[in-house]
Amino acid sequence: MATGKRAGSRRGTKRRAGFSPRLALLALGITLLVVAWGYLVYAAIDFGATARGGDSAAWAFLALASLGAVACLFAGLMLIARLLRELGITSPPPPKDPEPDRPVAPGGRRAAR
């Protein structure tokens, strides 16, 4: 075994491989939202064809189906982002520092030199 400054384990901690109910719920939610989005897009297309045929009430249903499809797609993308963060593929943004450690010089970095 080596000793010194840089002597240590070269391997990181192993992630526990197993069933995670949180990940399963995220995956199920994403699946349901994508299916609902597809159905609403199909319904919007159908309502659009009906509305162009002369049924004026179909315009309202077209608008509702379109708004629902947008909401489902947005929620699905948010859940995908959360799933990627849970899997460790992406990392959270760094926290915003409300008060910097040193005062900011007027004129930027170049003027501070």
Lookup result for tokens 């947005």: 74
In angstroms, the CA 63 to CA 44 distance is 8
User: Of 88 and 33, which is predicted with more confidence?
Assistant: 33
Q: Return the closest-CA partner of residue 46 out of 58, 34, 56, 38.
A: 58
The predicted model scores a pTM of: 0.67
**Quick one: average pLDDT of 14-39?**
90
Quote the mean pLDDT of the chain.
85
